Amino acid sequence: MPTGNETILAVDDERGLVDIYQAWFDDRYDVRTAYGGREALSTFDGSIDLVLLDRRMSGVSGDEVLETLREAGHDCPVVMVTAVEPDEGMVELPFDEYVLKPVDKKELFETVERALVRASDDTANDVLDALGDEKARRCCSVLNGEVKSAREVANLTGYSLPTVYRRLNTLRQAGLIESRTRIDPGGDHHEVFVTIAERITVELDGFSVMRELSAESKA
């Protein structure tokens, strides 16, 4: 569980918004600030426990900051906080949570707390964590054995596209689904998703999915 001593790095090229995050979280966490992507990369170090990261920033974007951190081996939780609606490309981004602006203080607190809890749980399992969410299970079940676009998943589940994209990202990071490119008759390219048939079964509230142990896990 979070202790309240965690260090959060708040990143946005809107100075006023960064200052608001600092005011909201300062009495609970150690908050550091960065006014843009370049400053975020120069400020980040191993003491950061979580990053609040705007996606669209001038200069170095949030996507670039996130990819640079992951390529460097940093696995701390990253909460994307942005006015940009989720799109196909975001499913490939290794973030942990995605919150749309304008941000509600209570929602942001709960999101940060949830991300920190997962990060501090030594028994955390990507598969169980993904399938522990009812909406993620539903998205996975409508994909099971078939190839569908995010919009098709949204139509079948009744969830909004942002909700579907967030769940597809979680399922992809857990290794339960993969994305592919589909070319329609007009030549347009679309991202589609499919569950990965694997060897072991995870059972949760009557829902099961096959998952193969990686070579590393089998060793």
Residue whose C-alpha is closest to residue 24's, from 52, 55, 61: 52
Residue whose C-alpha is closest to residue 95's, from 117, 75, 114: 75
The pair of structure tokens assigned to 196 is 């990965």
Homologous superfamily of the 7-120 domain (CATH): Response regulator (3.40.50.2300)
Q: How confident is the model over 178-217, as pLDDT tens digits?
A: 888 877 777 777 788 888 755 445 555 555 555 554 443 3
**Cα 218–chain centre separation:** 27
Residue whose C-alpha is closest to residue 51's, from 112, 5, 125: 112
pLDDT band at 121 (very low <50, low <70, confident <90, very high): low
CATH entry, 126-218, from 3.40.109.10, 3.30.1330.10, 3.40.50.300, 1.10.10.10: 1.10.10.10
CA distance 165 to 160: 9
In the chain, where the domains are located? 7-120, 126-218
What single DSSP character describes residue 214? P
CA distance 20 to 10: 10
Q: Is-same-fold flag (7-120; 126-218)?
A: no
Give the residue, 3 or 212, on which the prediction is more confident: 3
Least confident of 10-14, 84-88, 154-158: 84-88
Q: How confident is the model over 141-178, as pLDDT tens digits?
A: 888 778 999 989 999 999 888 788 888 888 887 788 88
Give the residue, 95 or 53, on which the prediction is more confident: 53
Task: For residue 54, count other CB atoms closer than 10 A to its CB.
Answer: 25
The pair of structure tokens assigned to 105 is 């203080």
